[in-house]
Amino acid sequence: MGCSCFGVFGRLQEGNDIDPQGIVNNRVRLFTYNALRSATGHFHPPNKIGGGSFGVVYKGVLRDGTRVAVKPLSTESKQGTKEFLTEINIISDIKHQNLVELIGCCAEGNHRILVYEYLENNSLASALLGSKSKQINLDWSQRAAICKGTATGLAFLHEEVEPSVVHRDVKASNILLDDNLLPKISDFGIAKLFPDNVTHLSTRVAGTVGYLAPEYAMFGQLTKKADVYSFGVLVLEIISGRNSANAAFGEEMLVLVEWAWNLKEEGRLLEIVDPELTEYPEHVIQRFIKVALFCTQSASHQRPDMKQVVEMLTKEVTLNEDLLTKPGVHKPHTSRQSTSGSSQTSSSVGNIGKTTVNASRSTIIDSSFVETEVLPR
């Protein structure tokens, strides 16, 4: 393939063996390190648009004027290399209006860099929960559109892509907002392909405190329903304008989902709504909160799938509240666990670190599941 513009020197092609670990596919554009260095002004600090757990993300402008987000990954850590490969393998060939587009990558020498379309309004975390200067005043229709768009993106990953993709890290900082404040799911670094014929994967836990489904946090049991749980937490954050990881509500220091549940039980559901939101249709917002509660139920099989969630959010359906069961909550750093269906105590999930789980506690712990790795927000 010949040279193309913007410093891109071609697409990866089959047999085009640029990476010893076989990232090769024919759908991503390959950038030279020099092209990305000049696009970002030599990775100039003021061009930094985000700092995640594994490095810094820069804004860049390609030679043709296209704006991009450039994410160099550390190659010193195994994690960086793994994330690079996972992301390319998972999103290079899927396109959807609610998923961020991977434009290309650089795999020159030791450099492993991902290049995405640039999203004007950064992340939902910065718009909703960030510092005052970065916050964007989101009205109800914008918040509702963010919930619906994110649900649609997840439903696509779960139900339409083959094999299905479980994102594993659905949270506000991984939801990017475009010029119209519509959402795109990003950061597929720890996503997993999920073949149709398996009921669950037993895996090391990776994800973010505050968003982890209890069965996954404690036992490493991964199903699509772990994403459904995280999505439910996200919806509560969007409606309340509060951060699920930092917040402790009421005298009992409840986490967001417990607080929402208690308010529902007391018939005071609307108290969870962000005081900044002054105008909203009460019956619709109540439905959204209930959908979030359906998503965060303790027993994963009781949670709806993402297609059902899209329906519940977009159609004027009446939800049967009698079917709602208590949320499951995994609390790091404590041995308390408020799932209604389980008596196990939680393992201590800390910031990046390793925890040995006592396999004798439960027969459903896979013996290979001995490590817990949770990323800070």
Ligand X SMILES: Nc1ncnc2c1ncn2[C@@H]1O[C@H](COP(=O)(O)OP(=O)(O)O)[C@@H](O)[C@H]1O
Binding site for ligand X (CB under 6 A): 49-50, 52-55, 57, 69, 71, 100, 116-119, 122-123, 125-126, 173-174, 176, 186-187, 189
Q: What is the DSSP string of 93-161?
A: T---TTBPPEEEEE-STT-EEEEEE--TT-BHIIIIIS-TTT-----HHHHHHHHHHHHHHHHIIIIIS
CB contact burial 352-373 (16+ within 10 A = b; e otherwise):
eeebebeeeeeeebeeebeebb
User: 163 preceded by cis ω (within 30°)?
Assistant: yes
52/241 with CB nearer ligand X: 52
Partner interacting with residue 150 (select from ligand X, Mg ion, none; CB below 5-8 Å by kind): none
Regarding 174 and contact with Mg ion (CB under 5 A), the answer is: yes
Q: Which of 187, 215, 237, 258 binds Mg ion (CB under 5 A)?
A: 187
81: closest CA among 151, 19, 158? Answer: 19
115/329 with CB nearer ligand X: 115
Q: Which of residues 12-71 bind Mg ion (CB under 5 A)?
A: 52
Based on the residue annotation, tell me whether 169 is a catalytic residue of this protein. yes
53/302 with CB nearer ligand X: 53
Please state the closest distance from residue 289 (CB atom) to ligand X, in A: 25
Residue tagged 């002004």 (tokens): 41
Measured in whole angstroms, the distance separating CA 231 from the mean position of its chain's CA atoms is 8
87/215 with CB nearer ligand X: 87
Regarding 227 and contact with Mg ion (CB under 5 A), the answer is: no
Taking CA 349 as the corner, what is the angle to CA 250 and CA 247, rounded to the nearest 5 degrees? 20
Regarding 203 and contact with Mg ion (CB under 5 A), the answer is: no
Q: Contact, 372 vs 355, CB < 8 A?
A: yes
Partner interacting with residue 176 (select from Mg ion, ligand X, none; CB below 5-8 Å by kind): ligand X
Please state the closest distance from residue 45 (CB atom) to ligand X, in A: 14
- Residue 113 pairs with which residues in a beta bridge? 72, 106
Is residue 71 a known part of a binding site? Answer: yes
187/215 with CB nearer Mg ion: 187
Identify the active-site residue in 93, 169, 187, 227.
169
Pairing of strands 29-31, 102-106: parallel
Give residue 64's identity as a one-letter amino acid code: D
Regarding 87 and contact with Mg ion (CB under 5 A), the answer is: no
Partner interacting with residue 50 (select from ligand X, Mg ion, none; CB below 5-8 Å by kind): ligand X
Measured in whole angstroms, the distance separating CA 234 from the mean position of its chain's CA atoms is 9
Catalytic residues: 169
Annotated binding site for ATP: 71
Residues that bind Mg ion (CB under 5 A): 52, 174, 187
